[in-house]
Structure 1
């Protein structure tokens, strides 16, 4: 199915807010996909597949904080005057995934209402762009601590489902999800809960016309399967782009983003 997807980027959740890593992290003992569950390095397998079988750029989503980690909760209680969690967990894992998997995109998220100084974001990013093995190829977003969103980063996300409706002087991305109500898979979702291909094409056109990139999220099942409705939407988008991709790929936004006389024309 990957070969039939739209061209662009593939970003996988290598690390969730529950702290479970999809690779055998040295800093998440017995709570990772190598030690328990599938007992496989899922990040390595996906990275190899993407790089050997597609022309997609490989990226990794990484949540800075964990909902229930006692070290983070202890730091939060001190109003982030202590830094036990980032020092022993989140930062070492960031260095680990960059060194081991060499992603072209790092999509940071979940600052837990902590400032960038707590996460030592500037220190990590300085290493990433100057000394890391991906220093000449990597790009990052703007979610590196309170106050950084929509202000610092290779591209801005500003908020989920963000579209300014006009040109910005900085690169930006519309991160949205096909399921209107959830970023993950829901067994009880109704058909009306999913965006139609017409909805998705509208999102794509409006985003590109304003100079943005569209990041379209799908939620796999607990065992890694892609639900039929998500597969259908990806195939439909790929088919639409096969015909109309010349108006999307490699284009530059015009001086006017939409037709004020005719609503819905971008």
Structure 2
């Protein structure tokens, strides 16, 4: 079916340039030492980011971004798709010239992301297919400068993002590649050899960091033992000596250490535990529930509604996580209208309710036992006390909202974000009863979730309790 692979050239002479000096800083290349590094504050404060899956798989745009792998496995839908639409002998590499990106306008993308309320953007620099979206020194003829767009897609987006003061730039990188001959050689040797990480994957990481200086290094694909990748050596360099050592954050996908090590845990795709974790974590999830990359064979029911997205966002932030929401551009560089609409809707909601999201910490309670569709966040105010935000995903029935987790004092005040007048309340034995404004929900500031701000409650806790 697939009779040739992309041409890989391992530039051994380039390896010297990307070999770090380990141990020059105070983090040693072991997990005990690396886990002691405090996470840079910007990441926990940001709360919401945009993920972008874009590559050669955006050309067939069928099934998912795992198109090549599933075709190679001879799965019937993929085999039939190729038989119907492409001539005999057509290979996956033949898709690359059609990855054209002629409508790719990084400034327009960044405007969309900024309007969504996101505070960081993570672009796939390379997925498991091995195609690099930058002119990598170790990916000859299988990168976006040599074939397809003939552009540095990573570099152009980095420049556009850095024009915005409130956006951080991040990069996803797959450590492994399905069909790279060096990886297959190591696999055949039961990973007792390390040709692929030494000559291909790890040099790419050094190249990405030194060239583009990302504030997020989002690793993926490292399902083998971490000793094969020698991940702690790279991370020690990243934290001690790299140009982003003071700002960079990394996830937990550096081998078989998921949900164990890393600045933030992802554990698995769409991770949303529904309760507070003792470690910073991130929920990465696609708007198209069936794929991370753009796909043509989808329908409306596959896209999350704005109500579903806001629910996921609120649950995630309340439990101490960040939300990284994914869009998949087309092969020619467009973010399709339904993705743009969802991002605009999230941005509209955050313009009203962002105070309850950005820079917040989990409260002593994450949700409320009396009101199932209500989640809490909290934030220290200028007076040094703590404001609590009660985010309800359903407008209170008959205008009455009862909070079982909150107890008022004589100084308590209740307001509704986006509404100019104070809100009345009454403390009862069964909870704090809030009298929501008697105005039609159609004229409320935003109709996908509402936030009541509670000041000077009885509940107190050490604010640092939930610093990650």
Pairwise same-fold verdict (TM > 0.5): yes
Contact 1:156 1:173 in 2 (8 A): yes
Q: Secondary structure at the match of 2:301?
A: helix
Contact 1:2 1:54 in 2 (8 A): no
Q: Secondary structure at the match of 1:238?
A: helix
The structure with the largest strand share of the pair is 2
Q: Secondary structure at the match of 2:186?
A: helix
Gaps of 5+ in 2: 1-111, 376-468
Q: Secondary structure at the match of 1:208?
A: helix
Select the residue among 269, 273, 282 that pairs with 1:160. 269
Aligned counterpart, 2:147? 36
Contact 2:172 2:218 in 1 (8 A): yes
Contact 1:3 1:54 in 2 (8 A): no
Aligned counterpart, 2:235? 125
Distance across 1 between alignment mates of 2:186 and 2:372: 49
In the TM superposition, what whole-angstrom CA distance separates every residue of 1:63-102 from its partner, at most 9, and x where no partner exists? 0000111110111121110101001000000000000000
Which has more radius of gyration?
2
Aligned counterpart, 2:180? 69
Select the residue among 304, 313, 329 that pairs with 1:195. 304
Distance across 2 between alignment mates of 1:8 and 1:2: 8
Which one scores higher on RCO, CA 8 angstroms, separation ≥ 6?
A: 2
Aligned counterpart, 1:220? 329
Distance across 2 between alignment mates of 1:265 and 1:2: 27
Q: How many residues align?
A: 264
Gaps of 5+ in 1: none
Distance across 1 between alignment mates of 2:240 and 2:164: 30
Aligned counterpart, 2:105? none
Please show how residues 94-173 of structure 1 align to structure 2 within 5 Å: 94-111=205-222, 113-146=223-256, 148-173=257-282
In the TM superposition, what whole-angstrom CA distance separates every residue of 1:125-168 from its partner, at most 9, and x where no partner exists? 0111011111111110000001x100100001111111221111
Distance across 1 between alignment mates of 2:246 and 2:323: 23
* Pairwise CA distance, 1:170: 0.9
* Pairwise CA distance, 1:54: 5.1
RMSD of aligned residue pairs (Cα, Å)? 1.0
Is the aligned partner of 1:47 residue 2:158? yes
In the TM superposition, what whole-angstrom CA distance separates every residue of 1:191-223 from its partner, at most 9, and x where no partner exists? 010000000000000001101100001111112
Runs of 4+ in 1 over 3 A off after TM superposition: none
Answer with 249-258 or 57-66: which moved more.
Answer: 249-258
Distance across 2 between alignment mates of 1:163 and 1:201: 13
TM-score using structure 2 length? 0.56
Contact 2:113 2:343 in 1 (8 A): no
Q: Secondary structure at the match of 2:136?
A: coil
Contact 1:219 1:226 in 2 (8 A): yes
